[in-house]
């Protein structure tokens, strides 16, 4: 969990907020200055100057017809350097594929990114019904097994900073919608060593997740097994837990962890 900077550079902070909002709206044709101003509660002149600078470095580009901005290939090139510098990318994807084949379900690996889970690796089965989202996709922390796994060792103050309030967004009737309820759930995760998403993010989908730890004993990622709830009953969930634990232990040892608790 990255802590908030003591002496933030406001212009840089605003620039990154613009990049973030453009990334989250990546499925449309871009955003105009007025839209960005409204969404970020930021002055148009400030946004214009920042976009002008980002365009110079080829991090954003402006559509000549619509005058809307979207992320550009310069930012993609920067992102390409991340896998080369991240130890998690050295993890053998065959481990995830083998786990997926043994369980005949979808396996995901995700990391904490601000207040979301980002999927960084995935292995699907050949079954007709598949579960989960694509690599690069984002999911909420409080409503997913991987999310709860990634944050289960944080205290209530740290959780409050992440969620910015006591009320959490609801996705299904099963979603935990209060910080107090989430804290209780995370205590349960701590005791049992795994987290479950029981149709909390998507009705009909059930998931189980466990942490990956590095040499510091810190949680650096999570791995989950996801399946339609009709297939993932309690008995199969417990079978999946044993398979998942073995894979997480192997990967954690690769990352320098001496042994899973």
* pLDDT of 261: 46
> Residue 109 falls within a domain, yes or no?
yes
The answer to the question of residue 195 being in a domain is yes
Residue 72 has pLDDT above 80, yes or no: yes
Flag whether pLDDT at 129 surpasses 80: no
pLDDT for residue 62: 92
Listing DSSP states for 81-107 in one string gives HHHHH-GGGGS-HHHHHHHHHHHTSEE
Do residue 125 and residue 195 come from a single domain? yes
Residue 260 lies in a domain: no
CATH code of the domain in which 235 resides? 3.30.450.40
Q: Residue range 83-96: average pLDDT?
A: 70
Per mean pLDDT, which range of 4-8, 48-52, 226-230 is the poorest? 4-8
CB 96 within 8 A of CB 109: yes
Q: Is the pLDDT of residue 84 over 60?
A: no
Q: What is the pLDDT of residue 45?
A: 94
Asked if residue 4 belongs to a domain, the reply is no
Give the whole-angstrom CA distance, residue 12 versus residue 170.
32
Burial 3-38 (b: 16+ CB within 10 A, else e): eeeeeeeeeeebbebbbeebeebeeeebbbbebbbe
Residues 68 and 122 in one domain: no
Rounded-to-integer distance, Cα 238 and Cα 152, Å: 20
Q: Do 143 and 222 sit in the same domain of this protein?
A: yes
Q: Which domain holds residue 191?
A: 86-254
More confident residue, 24 or 80: 24
- CA–CA separation, 48 vs 63, rounded Å? 14
> What pLDDT score does 130 carry?
56
| pTM exceeds cut of 0.85 | no
- Report, as an integer, the average pLDDT of 106-134: 81
Same domain, 72 and 92: no
Last residue of one domain, picked from the residues 80, 107, 131: 80
pLDDT > 60? residue 118: yes
- At 189-199, the pLDDT tens digits run 999 999 999 99
Question: Do 137 and 55 sit in the same domain of this protein?
Answer: no
The domain boundary, picked from 25, 48, 80, lies at 80
> Which two tokens mark 109?
């690996």
CA distance 102 to 123: 12
CATH of residue 43's domain is 1.10.10.10
- 75 with 92, same domain? no
Residue where a domain terminates, one of 40, 61, 80: 80
Same domain, yes or no: 108 and 71: no
Cα–Cα dist 177/250, whole Å: 34
- Once rounded to an integer, what is the mean pLDDT over residues 110-117? 89
Burial class (CB in 10 A: 0-12, 13-18, 19+), 149: buried
Q: Are residues 183 and 130 in the same domain?
A: yes
Highest mean pLDDT among 2-16, 19-33, 129-143, 226-240: 226-240
Number of independent structural domains in the chain: 2
CB 243 within 8 A of CB 224: no
What's the rounded mean pLDDT across residues 17-31?
Answer: 84
């Amino acid at each position: 969990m990255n802590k908030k900077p003591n002496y933030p550079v406001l212009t840089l902070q605003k620039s990154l907020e613009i990049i973030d909002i453009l990334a989250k709206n990546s499925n449309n044709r871009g955003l105009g200055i007025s839209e960005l101003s409204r969404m970020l509660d930021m002055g148009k002149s400030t946004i214009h100057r920042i976009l002008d600078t980002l365009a110079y470095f080829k991090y954003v580009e402006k559509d000549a017809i619509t005058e809307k901005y979207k992320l550009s290939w310069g930012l993609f090139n920067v992102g390409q350097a991340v896998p080369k510098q991240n130890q998690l990318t050295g993890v053998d994807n065959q481990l995830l594929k083998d786990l997926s084949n043994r369980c005949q379900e979808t396996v995901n690996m995700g990391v904490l990114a601000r207040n979301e889970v980002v999927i960084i690796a995935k292995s699907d089965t050949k079954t007709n019904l598949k579960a989960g989202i694509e690599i690069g996709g984002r999911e909420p922390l409080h409503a997913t097994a991987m999310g709860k796994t990634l944050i289960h060792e944080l205290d209530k103050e740290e959780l409050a900073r992440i969620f910015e309030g006591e009320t959490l967004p609801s996705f299904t009737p099963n979603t935990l919608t209060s910080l107090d309820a989430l804290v209780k759930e995370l205590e349960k995760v701590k005791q049992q060593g795994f987290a479950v998403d029981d149709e909390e993010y998507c009705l009909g989908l059930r998931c189980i997740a466990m942490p990956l730890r590095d040499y510091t004993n810190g949680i650096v990622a999570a791995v989950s097994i996801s399946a339609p709830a009709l297939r993932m009953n309690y008995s199969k969930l417990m079978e999946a837990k044993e398979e998942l634990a073995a894979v997480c232990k192997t990967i954690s040892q690769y990352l320098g962890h001496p042994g899973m608790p």
